[in-house]
Amino acid sequence: MKAFFSRPVTVIYPYRKMEVAPRGQGLIRLRMKELGEKPIYKCVACGVCAKSCPQHCITVEKRQDEKQPGIYRVNYSLCIFCRICVDSCPFDALEQTQEYEWVGGSRECFIRNKEDLAMDEVFEEDEKE
């Protein structure tokens, strides 16, 4: 009887959305060193994230004679958002955002390339004393 007179716990989604926890695990993004016509990614294409991914949803191929990814692709239809790739990156090049809404009409919509994964702002590291 107590539950009958209490407020409902459910949220009328998509009109009202619940807040995501600060450590919420959303979509993966690539951090940037420089933006512009020729962007510079923080990723050096070492492939540690792809090797540590339990679902093998990340593909990394290095450009010749450069420390930049030629191909960096994430297949979100396979990703389980476990954050292992973010934690295993030795260069701190990946970030897991608070974005959790993403709808696609086909399977190809869930495969994102490095241009789609790039952050909109330059990543600035905290100064260590």
Residue 121 · residue 30 · CB < 8 Å: no
pLDDT, tens digit, 9 for 90 and up, residues 55-111? 999 999 998 888 899 999 999 999 999 999 999 999 999 999 888 888 888 999 999
- What's the DSSP call for residue 18? P
Residue 53 · residue 80 · CB < 8 Å: no
CATH of 27-117, one of 3.40.190.10, 3.40.50.300, 3.40.50.150, 3.30.70.3270: 3.30.70.3270
d(CA 84, CA 114): 19
Specify the pLDDT at position 30: 93
Question: What is each CA distance from 48 to 11, 87, 93, 97, in whole angstroms?
Answer: 39, 10, 11, 20
Break the chain into its structural domains and give their ranges. Answer: 27-117
Of all residues in the chain, the percent with pLDDT exceeding 90 is: 49
Q: What is the mean pLDDT of residues 45-49?
A: 94
